[in-house]
Each structure stands twice: as C-alpha cells, then as structure tokens.
C-alpha cells in the first residue's frame, strides 16, 4: 500500500517510540521535501534520530511533488508540508495520505484522496494485532507528544477499537 505522510503523524509516533506502526502498515512511506526538512529539524533528539534511521532504512522515502497549478493553490491555504503531501499523494496516486490537521484533511478528501491520521494508524495497528490496545497509545501521545484529542473523538476512536 502506497502512503504519503505529513509531518505530524510521523513526528508524534516517533516521540512515543512507535514509528514501527507506520512501517508495519506501509512498506514504503513517501514524504515530500518540505516534510523531510521539518522532520530533520525535530526538536526531540531521540525522535529525530528514530526518524533519520527510518529514512536511512529506505522505508520512508523523500520525493518532490511536481510543481503545478494545484500545488500553487494548495500553498495559498495550507502549510507547505501539508500542501506538498497532498500534491505528492496525487502525483503518486497514493492509496492513502496521513494527515492530522483538520483543514488539510478536508482539502485532501475534496481532492479525492483517502485520508487517515495518527489515530487511524493506531486503529489499523490494533486490527492488525500490532498493539493490544489503543487507549495507552493515545495516553502516550497526549502525555509525551502533547497531542490534543477532543473527548468526543477519543470516545469514538476507543469505541471503534472495542475499548
């Protein structure tokens, strides 16, 4: 399955030591240059090292989206990493784009892309038997990565996970 990711899902999973969940779900994860630049400047040295190891291991690959009218339009309303991730997903005809930010998710869906975020990665991991429960992972995201999740969304995700 071909996936493209924005910065935050990779960053958040690296902070909690769970990049393996991305690797187990996506044999190759493509990121645009803007995302690679953001990840290279990650403020957490342990997370940054894990990310660089994943990039060096070749399952996270950097690619440059084609310069297009679409990319220009996306850049007018989204951050560079989000815009490039959506443009790259379209260029590569990706099966899925991994983005957490609401506005970028909506834009990706309007462009016809299948979208998940870090919570979707956790749900898929549980269904694949890679993690026993989603709740401790959400707690780790909240505590270590300062990840915000609205109570209603957390309840919905946990219900989907059967927790």
For the chain, give every domain's residue range.
2-131
List the beta bridge partners of residue 62.
31
Buried residues in 68-106 as b, exposed as e (16+ CB within 10 A)? eebbeebeeebbbbbbbbbbbbbbbebebbbbbbeebbe
Q: Torsion over CA of 154, 160, 161 and 163, rounded to 10 degrees?
A: 70
Report the alpha-carbon distance of residue 48 to residue 54 in Å, rounded. Answer: 10
Report the alpha-carbon distance of residue 12 to residue 144 in Å, rounded. Answer: 9
Q: Does domain 2-131 have CATH number 3.40.50.1010?
A: yes
Q: What are phi and psi of 115, to 5 degrees?
A: -125, 135
Per-residue pLDDT of the chain (163 residues; tens, 9 = 90+): 899 999 999 999 999 999 999 999 998 899 999 999 999 999 999 999 999 999 988 889 999 988 788 888 899 999 999 999 999 999 999 999 999 999 999 999 999 999 999 999 999 999 999 999 999 999 999 999 999 999 999 999 999 999 9
**CA dist 16 → 25, 50, 64, 145, 155 (Å):** 17, 11, 28, 7, 21
Task: State pTM to two decimals.
Answer: 0.94
């Amino acid at each position: 399955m071909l996936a493209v990711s924005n910065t935050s899902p990779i960053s958040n999973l690296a902070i909690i030591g769970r990049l393996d969940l991305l690797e187990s779900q996506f044999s190759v994860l493509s990121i645009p240059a803007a995302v690679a630049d953001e990840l290279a400047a990650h403020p957490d040295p342990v997370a940054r090292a894990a990310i660089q190891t994943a990039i060096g291991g070749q399952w996270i690959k950097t690619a440059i989206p084609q310069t297009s009218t679409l990319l220009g339009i996306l850049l007018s309303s989204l951050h560079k990493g989000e815009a490039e991730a959506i443009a790259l997903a379209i260029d590569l005809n990706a099966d899925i784009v991994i983005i957490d930010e609401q506005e970028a998710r909506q834009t990706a869906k309007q462009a016809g892309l299948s979208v998940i975020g870090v919570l979707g990665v956790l749900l898929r991991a549980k269904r694949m038997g890679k993690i026993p429960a989603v709740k401790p992972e959400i707690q780790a995201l909240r505590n270590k990565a300062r990840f915000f999740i609205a109570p209603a969304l957390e309840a919905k995700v946990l219900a989907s996970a059967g927790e």
